[in-house]
Structure 1
Amino acid sequence: MTSRELASLQRRWAAYQDLPELTEHWYWRPGWRDGREFYTWHLTFEHQPDLHDLTTQLQRQLALPGLDLVPLDGLHLTMQGLGFTDEVTDDDVAAIVAEAQRRCADMPPLELSLGPVDPDAEGIGLLVRPWDRVEALRATIRGAIATVWTSVPEPADGFRPHVTLAYSGAPVPTEPIRAQLAELRHLPVAPVRISEVPLIALRREDRIYRWTTVAVVRLGG
């Protein structure tokens, strides 16, 4: 683990020790509403048995008041937003996807590890490492967007790769959750191999994120 990743993990864990209660995750962000969809690039984990086994093991211990567990088919790593589906044209989507595929064709698949647990006020995630590979992929996607649009949505800085296992669903005390997490921090990590990056239309359904895959960009052609 690099010093940057370790420093983040330790800093966030220390902050969680002083957190009195959870912050509910499910408030509406600007522009979002029931039924509205958002184009975004995510890494998804449909065929990752090691990750699914780790997630199942952890979630058995995290079925606690205030936590909304993420289903296995809802696991994702948020990469780069594009815009609401009612504001982005089909032509722009096609052009951005084509440019992203051209730029990603020479990038090798990502070999990542997920874990240990990494909590904050709005949820419990898994640390993703190494960060630099995910950051390089995100920068490549942002570069593809910049060839079509003069302005790329979302800041380039402040990105922290993570995969959420449980979202905070109510402002409950954190002490019981902290005690449980202390027992789970030393489980073996899960290796994953990512060979494609989907562009999805994301929506919220009853405190779960769901999506439809719009296009798929493959790494290494």
Structure 2
Amino acid sequence: MSSRELANLHQRWTAYQDLPQLTNHWYWRPGWRADRQFYTWHLTFEHQPELHSLVTDLQSQLALPGLDLVPLDGLHLTMQGLGFTDEVTNSDIEAIVAETQRRCAGLPPLELSLGPVDPDAEGVGLLVRPWDRVEHLRATIRDAISAVWPAVPEAAEGFRPHVTIAYSGSQAPTEPICARLTTLRHRSPARVTIRQATLIALRREHRTYEWTTMAVAPLAR
């Protein structure tokens, strides 16, 4: 683990131990409502048995008040948003997809490690390593967007790769969750191979994220 990743994990774990209660993750962010969808590039984790086994094991220990467990088909790594589906034209989406596919074809698949558990006020995630490979893919996607639009949505800075396995569903006390996480911190991580970035239309329903796949940008095989 790089010093950057290790320092961030230690910092977040220390802050979590001092956190009295969770923040409900399911508040409405600006622009969001129940009938609205959002275009975003994600990494998704279909056909990843090692990861699914780890998440299933961890979630069996995290069925605690205040946590909404993420279904296996809802596991994702948020990469780069584009905008609400009612504000982005089909022609722009087609151009961005084509440019992203062209640029991603020159990148190798991502070999990543997911784990250990990495909690914060809005849920429990898995640390993703190494960050630099995910950051490079995100920068490639942002470059593709900038070839179509004069400005890229969302800041380039502040990106922290992570995969959430449980969201906070209420302002529950953190003490019992922290105690349980202490016993899970040393579980061996799972290895995954990511072979594409996925453009999805994301929606929030029933205290979970669901999506429709719009396009994929394969990485070189």
Unaligned residue ranges in structure 2 (runs of 5+):
none
Q: Which amino acid aligns with 2:27?
A: Y
Give the Cα separation in 2 of the matches to 1:148 and 1:172.
Answer: 44
- How many residue pairs match? The answer is 221
Give the Cα separation in 1 of the matches to 2:187 and 2:173.
Answer: 24
Q: Which amino acid aligns with 2:200?
A: I
Correspondence list, 1:194-205, <5 A:
194-205=194-205
- 1:64 corresponds in structure 2 to 64
Q: Secondary structure at the match of 1:53?
A: helix
Give the Cα separation in 2 of the matches to 1:76 and 1:105.
Answer: 21
Q: Which amino acid aligns with 2:190?
A: A
Q: Secondary structure at the match of 2:92?
A: helix
- 2:191 corresponds in structure 1 to 191
- 1:97 corresponds in structure 2 to 97
- 2:144 corresponds in structure 1 to 144
Could you say what the CA RMSD is over the residues aligned between the two structures, in angstroms? Answer: 0.5
- 1:83 corresponds in structure 2 to 83
Measured after TM superposition, the shift of residue 42 of structure 1 is: 0.3
Correspondence list, 1:143-182, <5 A:
143-182=143-182
- 2:211 corresponds in structure 1 to 211
Give the Cα separation in 1 of the matches to 2:101 and 2:89.
Answer: 19
Q: Which amino acid aligns with 2:175?
A: E
Matched, 1:133 2:133: yes
Q: Which amino acid aligns with 1:123?
A: G
Q: Secondary structure at the match of 2:155?
A: coil
Q: Secondary structure at the match of 1:142?
A: helix
Unaligned residue ranges in structure 1 (runs of 5+):
none
Q: Which amino acid aligns with 1:128?
A: V
- 1:110 corresponds in structure 2 to 110
Q: Deviations over 1:95-145 (max 9, x none)?
A: 001000111111000000000000000000000000000000000000000
Give the Cα separation in 1 of the matches to 2:102 and 2:110.
Answer: 17
- Percent of residue pairs identical: 75
Give the Cα separation in 2 of the matches to 1:206 and 1:28.
Answer: 13
Give the Cα separation in 1 of the matches to 2:109 and 2:35.
Answer: 34
Q: Secondary structure at the match of 1:81?
A: strand
Measured after TM superposition, the shift of residue 35 of structure 1 is: 1.5
Q: Secondary structure at the match of 2:118?
A: strand
- 1:11 corresponds in structure 2 to 11
Give the Cα separation in 1 of the matches to 2:172 and 2:87.
Answer: 37
Q: Which amino acid aligns with 1:3?
A: S
Q: Which amino acid aligns with 2:69?
A: L
Q: Deviations over 1:39-77 (max 9, x none)?
A: 000000011000000000000000000000000000000
TM-score normalized by the length of structure 1: 0.99
Give the Cα separation in 2 of the matches to 1:12 and 1:185.
Answer: 13
TM-score normalized by the length of structure 2: 0.99
